[in-house]
Structures are given as C-alpha cells and as structure tokens.
Chains A and B, each alone.
Chain A
C-alpha cells in the first residue's frame, strides 16, 4: 500500500465503533525499515500518535484499533522520529556511493506488518531493504 493511498483513511475503534481520527502522516523507523507509528488528525484525545503495535488491522477502508487508549502523545524515540527532519516524502535520495538518485515521491509499505517495501522516485523505485537512514539532509540508501 502506498502512503498516498493511506493518508486520510479513517481510524476506527473496535470497542466503541467510533471514528477516533484520520491518518495524517507516517512515522518511519529507518533502522528497522518499518512504519513505527501513524500520526493522526482530528483525534478526540490529547495525543495524536498511534504506534504500529496499537493497530489491530490496516484495512482497505479503515484502520482499526482496540480502543482510543492506543493513541498516545509524542514521547521518547517516537517524538524524535516524528520530527520534521525525519519526514521522508520529497526528500532527496543519496546512495552510499554518493550519487543523488532522485527524490522520494511515495513510499510502498506492507499493511500487514508495516515493513517498508519500496521507495518510489520519479525514476526507478528503490527496494525498501536498501534504506539506511532518513535525516534532515537526505534519505540514504545502500547502493
């Protein structure tokens, strides 16, 4: 599933059947090459982060969670990863050989476990397993 497809999808609590937010953006852990959390919009609770572990299912029409208690405020490592400097979209991509291979246009992830499957660029997509880091300057991939 692509980030662009998933953004805006509603997040529904299975215990109350109420909508508890919409997917705003993705928080990526580049070392684990996974989506670490979702940053939600329009949440009824103070926090807006939904760690991947709190997700019951990433469905086609909605993301389900057990209850809104899984939505937390920014803290620790997640707060750092959610920093604007670690946003992946539109960032330049550098290979470990020092060449720029485009900018990130979209990211393909596995809705079952949050693994990053691929990084889409204007040109050839890059295998998600090549991802090394996402920093303020660039996204670094092995190659």
Chain B
C-alpha cells in the first residue's frame, strides 16, 4: 500500500540532488491526467528571499519522496516550467484549472463541498503518484458538521477547474481520518470495479 500525504504537506519540501545540494523546494503541484495524478512540481529557490524558479520537476524524474526531502539525481533533470505545464493541466493553486476551492459534485448532482486539500498516494519509486482523494469542507446539506472530510476518488474522473464530478457512491466513504482513509479508498475502488 502506498503512503498517503496531503498535497499541502508536500509544498516547501526541500529538493536535494544525489550530490547532496539543496537546489530548490516544492512550490506547487501540477496535476496531470485530469487531476488524477501528479504531473510535475513547480519549484521555488531556497532561502528567505528566493522567488519561484523558471524550472520545474517532472514527476517521473523524482527518485524518492519522503518526510524530509524530495530526492532527484541532479539539477539536469529539471525542465523549463512551460514544458511541464504543457504536458499537464490544472495546478493546485494558480493558473488555469485550479483544483483547490472547486466544488465537488456527485454524478447525481448533489454538492458535497469544496476542495481544501488533495490526498496523494505515493507508491514505490518510479510508480505514479496517484491522487486518491480530496479533503473537503463539507456542504451544510450533508449534515456532517464543519470538520474537514476526506473523500475517496475513483482512478479516473472529470475535473474542470470549477467542478469535480465524483460517483454518488463516494459520499458513502467520507471519513475524517487519514489513517482510516487508506482502507476506505481500497474498498471504494474495488466496489467501483465490481459495478462497472
């Protein structure tokens, strides 16, 4: 089972090369495949006054991602930001197709809430970094209070930057604990597989 992390926890994580140099830190996440997986990271320089960098880190070039750092082979694997954005669409907090704040709708048309964070499942090195769920600020109509809830996602889904469409079933798997979320995703996805 892959490790689950919140996208917001990934930002500001330091990017270190094999040579042991801290070349950048994660600024933002660029999603690919309709918001279904991580495409690339945009980067900011290290240090107090360093601004955004003109290079980005494509996901396939990441060697390892852990609690303390993101490891890459060398600075040479970084590509110009434009290139990274072209291959992916929809950034977490800027530009077109903003996933944060967009409304989560079920395919039956009821609003579940607004996205406050993205949950990412990180598997073995070289594997995809799958977007497995969202943390949402629940809609009042749900009657689940104001605590953020976690909602599992199918492997593929539609995202427009305004709305995110999830199967109505997803509402049955809302949870408020990241620890319990892993099994919720598994059961949810296996159920979906059984239906379709």
Chain A residues in the interface with B (C-beta under 8 A) = 30, 91, 94-100, 132-140
Q: Which of B65-79 contact A (CB under 8 A)?
A: 65-71
Q: Which chain A residues lie closer than 8 Å to B69 at the CB level?
A: 94, 98-100, 138
Q: Which chain B residues lie closer than 8 Å to A91 at the CB level?
A: 20
The verdict on A97 contacting B71 (CB below 8 Å), with A136-B22, A138-B22 known, is yes
Chain B residues in the interface with A (C-beta under 8 A) = 14, 16-22, 63-71, 125
The verdict on A96 contacting B21 (CB below 8 Å), with A137-B14, A137-B16 known, is no
Q: Which of B14, B19, B22, B64 contacts A96 (CB 8 A)?
A: B64
- Are B19 and A94 in contact, CB atoms less than 8 angstroms apart? no
The verdict on A95 contacting B19 (CB below 8 Å), with A137-B14, A140-B71 known, is no
- Are B70 and A133 in contact, CB atoms less than 8 angstroms apart? no
Q: List 10 A-B contacts (CB under 8 A).
A: A94-B16, A97-B64, A98-B67, A133-B20, A134-B19, A136-B21, A137-B14, A139-B20, A140-B17, A140-B18
Q: Which of A30, A98, A136 contacts B66 (CB 8 A)?
A: A98
The verdict on A98 contacting B17 (CB below 8 Å), with A137-B22, A138-B22 known, is no
The verdict on A98 contacting B22 (CB below 8 Å), with A137-B16, A138-B69, A140-B71 known, is no
Chain A residue at smallest Cβ distance from B67: A99
By DSSP majority rule, is chain A's interface helix, strand, loop, or mixed? loop
- Are A135 and B21 in contact, CB atoms less than 8 angstroms apart? yes
| Pairs A-B, 5 closest by C-beta atoms | A135-B20, A98-B66, A137-B22, A133-B19, A97-B64
- Are B70 and A137 in contact, CB atoms less than 8 angstroms apart? no
Q: How far is the CA of A139 from the CA of B20 in the complex (A)?
A: 5
The verdict on A133 contacting B17 (CB below 8 Å), with A97-B125, A138-B22 known, is yes
- Are A140 and B67 in contact, CB atoms less than 8 angstroms apart? no
Q: How far is the CA of A134 from the CA of B71 in the complex (A)?
A: 13
Chain A residue at smallest Cβ distance from B72: A96
